Structure 1
Amino acid sequence: MNHLYKRDLTKGSIAGSMLRFALPLMLGNLLQQCYNIADTLIVGQVLGAEALAAVGSSYALIVFITSIFIGLCMGCSAVLSMQYGAKDIRQMKQSIFSSLLIVGGTTLLLNILSLAFLSPIIKILQTPPELEAITYQYLFLIFLGMIPMAVYNFYAFLLRSVGNSSSPLYFLLISVALNIVLDVLFMVGLKMGVEGAALATVISQIVSAAGIYLYTWKQFPELRLSRDDRQINFSAIRKIASFSYLTCMQQSVMNLGILMVQGLVNSFGTTVMASFAAAVKIDSFAYMPVQDFGNAFSTFIAQNFGAQREDRICRGIRCAWLTTTLFAGIVSVLVFFFATELMRIFIPATEQEIISIGVTYLQIEGSFYIGIGYLFLFYGYFRAVSRPSVSLILTIISLGTRVILAYSLAAIPSLSYNGIWWSVPIGWILADIAGVLFYRRLHVL
């Protein structure tokens, strides 16, 4: 078992353990965001504002759909991390099989439903009529790649649960590089339009899914399931389901709120849609490291919770809060003062109205990245100590506030779509306050 345990997060330097584990997560997400940026850049510069608006508005729906099985994988990973920290490998392997049943069945059902009801979903999002056809073409191909995307995420979270965050990074690097090459080939060389962007994404997802599966099978024989492990264990399924579906609901609620806000943004027309499409990519890129650090923090807490290492958990919490405060503060300053330059990466300098709208968005949200950083720590902590329902409650507070305020403030003529931007940090702050109260009341160690 030495191959597994050398990634044990219950030993060694606390700050070093979290940061070494978090770094590959950050780099992986950085690669993914770089691809998203490259995709947006190519679509915006080569295909024009309408294609950018269609792909950008599709992004929120794609994130919502994929967040369901990513939430399932995340919840499964929390249980696996606890069992790994407790050195209960036999139970862990039974949990892996139960996780496969839950994630696989849910993903297949989700794939069928999303393809069957794609047209009405596009209309519900208030997509402008002139963009409906191009949006359908893009999303139909993207959703054909849902199963390989789920396979990659399942094995990535499996490896991370035992402390291996590096291997998923390598396969993501291959996927992103291939995706960008195919984007250029299909959209610039073969003039395939948004269908080319979608096809490039699906092909790269298939490659990364096949690669990480074969790697895990060959390099981690300890994780292979025997016939005894592949028995349906309803007790194990209930335990996994209690975590995974609550985490799934948290991720889904989070992205459902974003999806509802996307529908409101769409109602303001193509200019605001294009601006939002570019600005939200910058926004996601900016706070991505604190999100990944929150996930690393969650794995660290889960392993130490399983090992009953209260001392490391308490010191880990202090370290995580300090790190998040420092990093989020620096990023806020950079985004606020360089918002115009960042928007010009995606939008031609002649499109002054689109750039101006995006700058306002970035300067409002960019001033409050500490709020979202703290919220990711709360999500990770409560998920890791067997309280995923609290993470769900915090998400409902954050996104519920955001949606209600977005629709209310946007109706005020003097605020218009700027009211949508202001609703986001207000939701973060309220959820953070609730997180502090829950932590003091439900501190389990």
Structure 2
Amino acid sequence: MEQDMTKGSPFKVLIMFTLPLAIGNIFQQLYNMADTIIVGRYVGADALAAVGSTGTVMFLLNGFAQGITAGFAVLTSQRYGAKKTEGVKQSVSNGILLSVIGAVFFTAASILFMKPLLYLMNTPENIFADAYCYISLISLGMVANVFYNLFSAYLRAVGNSKMPLFFLVLSACLNVVLDLVFIINFQMGVAGAAWATNLSQAISAVLCAVYIYKKVPSLVPEKRHWRIHRGDTRFQLATGIPMALQFAITSSGTMVMQSAINLFGSEAVAAYTAAGKIHSLLTQGMVAMGQTMAVYSGQNYGKGDAARIRQGVRAALVIEVIYSLVSAVIVYSALEPSLGLFFSGEVDLTAMMPWARTYITICTLFYVPLCTIFIFRNTMQGCGYGFLPMMGGVVELVARLAVAVVAMNIHSYWLACACDPAAWVGAGVFTGVSYLYVMNKVQKSLGAGMPSHGLSEKQH
């Protein structure tokens, strides 16, 4: 089920690879939504607000796992495109060893700094205890999160986007079942939702590892590969750390935005959380196209075909602009009927709707610049360029911070919701210009005869 993305129509290749990823991302959002829906309906609106108030911290934790592991897999993708089978195995073992170190370090740091972070984010006092309980337990599951993302990234690196989808769907279903058992039967509250997420991710990670060992021999290292390789470590950290930092920087901006939202009370937080989940669900096609472009550009960079990378970017832009417009219509239309899923009949939805509608209305107007960020950023990362995509995250942070500070000072919910669109426009322009600059460098390096990143002559 491996796929060589250096051949065939770019449009068709991108569509076929992106579809399973999009479905998988949607299921991942669904099982994240399951926590909030079940908590909201069976524990209460305050518990929903508690889980929702940690959403940006969750984005940071998940972003670290996705960013660092996607960065580690760039080298695998490039070597796979260059047909360097020995180098592929070596990059896999090196990434696994680095991931063990990274997961342990980040788990410890998360637990140590979580309580001060929640205070810094203006978490309302009436939901603070539940918020801290939930996110602390999620932090304990970082190892499972990292390794599911790592194994999925390795499968995507060799063109297999279907099996990660299969395991993710299974994990999503299991998460819903565990949510119901832990929250309704065992009365575990928000702690039950956290444990359900951790266990489902752990099972998914194990299944991915077993599948790779049994079915994808090109990704299975041999005994001689199991050590830290200096050259691979240098490249993987140089790619993975900026990608993880980019998520960290972006999530820092969303934390600032969450801090502004938190000032309007638990009702606003709950409504914003529910609307944000619906928004996230419909934008997963954009995320999936970004993941696809990282693999597509990585394989074609490894092959040395800059022209095909440009063709892929043009095809991706056409696909995503259409997707953005359709998604905007769907998410705006589905908001009112969907909002009722998150709350029990005791909650007054008419009071929630203005908060939710304001956020969704502002966001949907800016879906086109949002989709371009994923395409440009991941294309650069697939070619081994991590700094400029990371700086795109800095642009997002600055934009969110500037708008959030004004929103908090004048106490404007509308302006607090505008933090996201301001970040998308700024980062869209920055990453677009950066992409043109990087592609000129890529063209020159490939024209000189050999990629300049990650393809050591020693890796045959």
Task: Indicate the SS of the match to 1:274.
Answer: helix
Aligned to 1:160: 156
What is the match of residue 226 of structure 1?
Answer: 222
CA distance in 2, matches of 1:291, 1:264: 25
Structure 1 residue 238, shift from structure 2 partner: 0.6
Corresponding residue SS for 1:111: helix
- Which residue number corresponds to residue 304 of structure 1? 300
2:428 is equivalent to residue 437 of structure 1: no
Alpha-carbon distance in 2 for matches of 1:425, 1:116: 32
Looking at structure 2, the residues matched to 358 and 433 of structure 1 have their Cα atoms a distance apart, in angstroms, of 28
Separation of aligned partners in 1, 2:333 and 2:278: 13
Residue 186 of structure 1 aligns to a residue whose secondary structure is helix
Residues 104-145 of structure 1 deviation map (CA, whole Å, 9 limit, x = unaligned): 101101112222333223222221222222222222322222
User: Which one of the candidate residues 335, 352, 355 is aligned to 1:354?
Assistant: 352
1:356–1:68 Cα change, 3 Å: same
For residue 394 of structure 1, what is the aligned residue in structure 2?
A: 392
Aligned 8 A contact 2:99 2:147 in 1: no
Q: Deviations over 1:281-304 (max 9, x none)?
A: 111112111111121122111111
1:382 pairs with one of 380, 383, 401: 380
**Contact 2:256–2:400 (Cα < 8 Å) also in 1:** no
Does the 8 A contact of 2:50 with 2:131 survive in 1?
Answer: yes
Q: What pairs with 1:180-199 in structure 2 (closer than 5 Å)?
A: 180-199=176-195
Distance in 1 of aligned mates of 2:133 and 2:310: 50
- The amino acid that maps onto 1:269 is G
What is the aligned partner in structure 2 of residue 204 from structure 1?
A: 200
Indicate the residue corresponding to 2:405 in structure 1.
Answer: 407
* 1:245 pairs with 2:230: no
> Hey, what does 1:144 align to over in structure 2?
140
Mean CA deviation greater in 41-50 or 349-358 = 349-358
- The 3-state SS of whatever aligns with 1:387 is coil
Distance 1:132 1:434 in 2: 37
TM-score, normalised relative to structure 1: 0.94
- Give CA deviations for 1:82-121 in whole Å, capped at 9, x if unaligned: 1111111212222222212222101101112222333223
Aligned-partner residue type, residue 282 of structure 1: I
Task: Give a deviation string over 1:124-181, Cα, whole Å, max 9, x none.
Answer: 2221222222222222322222111111111011111111111111111111111101
Q: Which amino acid in structure 1 is aligned with residue 394 of structure 2?
A: I
> Per the alignment, do residues 436 and 139 of structure 1 end up closer, same or farther by CA in structure 2, a change over 3 Å counting?
closer
Map of 1:235 onto structure 2: 231
Give the partner amino acid of 1:76.
F
Q: 1:436 to 1:221 in 2, by over 3 A?
A: closer
Letter paired with 1:36: N
Match of 1:366 in 2: 364
1:75 aligns with 2:66: no
Deviation at 1:58, TM superposition (A): 1.7
Structure-2 separation of matches of 1:274 and 1:14: 42
The one-letter code of the counterpart of 1:393 is: M
How far 1:405 moved relative to its partner? Answer: 1.0
1:240-265 Cα distance to aligned partner (Å, 9 max, x none): 11111111111111112112221222
What is the deviation of 1:335?
Answer: 2.4
- What is residue 96 of structure 1 aligned with on the other side? 92
For residues 163 and 16 of structure 1, the distance between their equivalents in structure 2, rounded to whole angstroms, comes to: 14
Question: Residue 421 of structure 1 is aligned with which of 417, 423, 428?
Answer: 417
Q: Using the alignment, how far apart are the partners of 2:435 and 2:190 within structure 1?
A: 46
What SS is found at the alignment partner of 1:163? coil
After superposition, the C-alpha distances for 1:166-201 in whole angstroms (9 at most, x for unaligned) are 111111111111110111112122322112111211
Contact 1:85–1:303, Cα closer than 8 Å, also in 2:
yes
Deviation at 1:230, TM superposition (A): 1.6
Q: Return the alpha-carbon distance in structure 2 between the equivalents of residues 137 and 272 of structure 1.
A: 21
Conserved 8 A contact 2:275-2:339: yes
Task: Give the structure 1 partner of residue 102 of structure 2.
Answer: 106
| Matching residue of 1:314 | 310
Q: Tell me the SS of whatever aligns to 1:148.
A: helix
* Secondary structure of residue in 1 paired with 2:96: helix
Distance change in 2, residues 1:90/1:185 (3 Å) = same
Per-residue CA deviation, residues 214-245 of structure 1 (Å, 9 max, x unaligned), is 11111122222122212322122111111111
Closer, same or farther in 2 for the Cα pair 1:117/1:440, shift >3 Å?
closer
RMSD: 1.7
C-alpha offsets along residues 310-340 of structure 1, whole Å, 9 cap, x if unaligned? Answer: 3322221211110011110111122234433
Q: Would you say the 8 A contact 1:126–1:263 is kept in 2? A: yes
Q: Which residue pairs with 2:450 in the alignment?
A: none
Residue identity in the other structure for 1:369? Y
Name the amino acid aligned to 1:385. Answer: C
Q: TM-score, normalised to structure 2's length?
A: 0.91
Q: Aligned AA for 1:307? A: K
Q: 1:344·1:355 contact (CA, 8 Å) conserved in 2?
A: no
Give the C-alpha shift of residue 381 in structure 1: 1.4
Q: Once structures 1 and 2 are overlaid, which stretch shifts more, 153-162 or 431-440?
A: 431-440
Q: Go from structure 1 to structure 2 and tell me whether the alpha carbon gap of 1:412 and 1:105 turns closer, same or farther (over 3 Å shift).
A: same
Cα distance in structure 2, aligned partners of 1:241 and 1:173: 30
Task: Determine the structure 1 residue equivalent to 2:452.
Answer: none
Q: 1:440 to 1:179 in 2, by over 3 A?
A: closer
Task: List runs of 5+ in structure 1 lacking aligned partners.
Answer: none
Corresponding residue for residue 447 of structure 2: none
Corresponding residue of 2:118: 122
- Whether the 8 Å CA contact 1:410–1:418 is kept in 2: the answer is no
| 5+ residue gaps, structure 2 | 444-460
In 2, Cα distance between equivalents of 1:430 and 1:232 = 39
Q: 1:423 to 1:202 in 2, by over 3 A?
A: closer
